[in-house]
Amino acid sequence: MLTLPVYSLKGIYYLHTRVDGRQFKRSLKTRDPLLARLRAVELLRAIEMTKPKLSDFNVNSEAIKRYEIELAGIRIKATDEADHIRALEAIKALSTLHNTPHTPKGAMLLKDDGLGPVQAPAKAGLRISEVLDKMIDLRTNLKQATVISYKNTVKEFSQYTKAPYITDLGVGDITRYQEYLSAKKNTLRTIDNKIATLRALFNFAIKQGYYFAKNPAQDRQLLTKRDKIKSGYAIFTIEEIKSIYGADFLKTQRTKSPDYYWVLVIALLSGCRVGEITSLTREQIKITPSFVILNIQDSKTMAGIREVPIPIEVLDFGFLDFIKDKSGVIFKYNQREGKGSGNAAGKMFRRHLDSIKIENSKLVFHSLRKFTNDYFQKSGVDFEPRCQFFGHEVDNVNLNFYTNKFTAGELFKLTQKIQMQLFKMAAQ
């Protein structure tokens, strides 16, 4: 496969190579990248056939423009730039056809990556749902909740676009889908999440050879980084935390719904995500003479797989009685409707907040994690142990590769005093 020495200068494409040891540069007289590559191929073919000297390259512009494309015995001849453009449109249209009897089996498709023509793979034109099935089969590490979410998004997208094959889809379909979701009152964050699902699917399809153009869902986020910060979750104040854990609502749940009660207590002490807590098994809880270890295995990131120490006092407070007869998953919450196991606890937490008149929509279950992290920071816990404790990913080579991890015991020594303060807030 030939890599074309083509580049753009002020929007115009040029061919720049060497002939008999000397530089050869010619304008390709177009701003269209695909047309430029086709003209470059024809020019390079002429060079290869004739082996001319540099002085021979007084090439008539019309001669450069004339070329022929052969697709499975069908010859397309172009004589001017308008013909070139029409020919390119025809080629692009061919690239969207699936492998049916009316599609020439030997057709050459043009890949928009700076390379020459490539042979279309045998398995072209898969339905978008079939591509998703293949991705799920290969990416065996996907969580069940993620799989369900992916399937729901792809089903909705397929039904809306009415496109049976992934090769029929383009940027315009993504745009219309975004507008459709907005009309249905989806939040910008929800829309971005669904587009992220499609982006991952198209990336997979491109790598596997099921899609032959640029990813149509790339760079289609509606929220900027600043918007995400502004629209992110808020942090509880200490007064709000005291109201939450001192509320009659929570006290009644200790006997009425102990699963919810202990999820909430563990959340404040550990700063764990709700799904990390609700997925805990009895085997992931280790009791030492000085503290309890939560061995987090089900996390959204690699950094989230960690050991989190919490005060042993929680056992005498009732947690030991709650877990002593349990085997397997200790909390009753199950994954359903494309949501993780923490979804039910999150909904109850909303009712909990409503009962004490906390109505800020940015205050959610995840705000407990943000509160505990903020409390650690303000109490003087250094960045590195705090990142490990909370399972935060760090974009720092030195921290990721050249820093020894803290043991659970070392983390507990650094956080014990602070955790006991949090325990007093939780055990009202």
Which sequence spans correspond to the domains of the chain?
6-118, 128-230, 238-426
**Tokens 């491109």, residue?**
206
DSSP-derived 3-state class of residue 335:
coil
DSSP-derived 3-state class of residue 70:
strand
**Tokens 């315009």, residue?**
172
CB burial of residue 66 (10 Å; 0-12, 13-18, 19+):
middle
Element holding 287 (H helix, E strand): strand 285-287
Residue 97: its pLDDT value, please? 44
Distance CA 136, CA 143 (A): 10
Residue 330: its pLDDT value, please? 92
CA distances from 75 to 17, 68, 70, 151 (A): 28, 7, 4, 42
**What would the two tokens of residue 359 be?**
């109505």
**What would the two tokens of residue 53 be?**
């000297």
Distance CA 370, CA 384 (A): 17
Residue 334: its pLDDT value, please? 66
Residue 165 near residue 126, CB atoms below 8 Å: yes
Residue 322: its pLDDT value, please? 95
CB burial of residue 270 (10 Å; 0-12, 13-18, 19+):
buried
Residue 20: its pLDDT value, please? 66
For Cα atoms 128, 131, 135, give the angle at the middle one, nearest 5 degrees: 140
- The whole-angstrom distance between residue 294's C-alpha and the CA centroid of its chain comes to 27
Q: Pairing between strand 117-119 and 306-311?
A: unpaired
What one-letter code names the amino acid at 82?
A
Residue 341 near residue 332, CB atoms below 8 Å: no
CATH architecture label of 128-230: Orthogonal Bundle (1.10)
For Cα atoms 9, 15, 20, give the angle at the middle one, nearest 5 degrees: 135
Residue 240 near residue 358, CB atoms below 8 Å: yes
DSSP structure string for 339-373: B-TTHHHHHHHHHHHHHTT---TT--THHHHHHHH
**What would the two tokens of residue 39 be?**
């003209």
Residue 15: its pLDDT value, please? 81
CA distances from 59 to 7, 27, 63, 75, 259 (A): 19, 11, 7, 24, 80
Residue 201 near residue 132, CB atoms below 8 Å: yes
Closest alpha carbon to 348 in 336, 335, 333, 360: 333
Residue 267 near residue 239, CB atoms below 8 Å: no
Residue 59: its pLDDT value, please? 42
CB burial of residue 209 (10 Å; 0-12, 13-18, 19+):
middle
Predicted confidence pLDDT, tens digits, the chain (428 residues): 345 677 788 788 888 777 666 777 888 888 877 777 777 777 776 665 444 444 444 444 444 444 454 444 445 555 555 555 555 555 555 444 443 333 333 333 334 444 444 444 444 468 889 999 999 999 887 777 778 888 999 999 999 988 778 888 988 899 999 999 999 888 888 898 999 999 999 999 999 888 888 999 998 888 776 666 555 688 999 999 999 999 999 999 999 999 999 999 999 999 999 989 998 999 999 999 999 999 998 776 777 889 999 999 999 999 999 999 888 889 988 655 545 667 888 889 999 999 999 988 889 999 999 999 999 999 999 999 999 999 887 655 444 544 568 999 999 999 999 999 999 999 87
Alpha helices in 67-127 (DSSP H): 81-95
Distance CA 163, CA 149 (A): 20
**CATH code for residues 238-426:** 1.10.443.10
First and final C-alpha spacing in the chain = 71
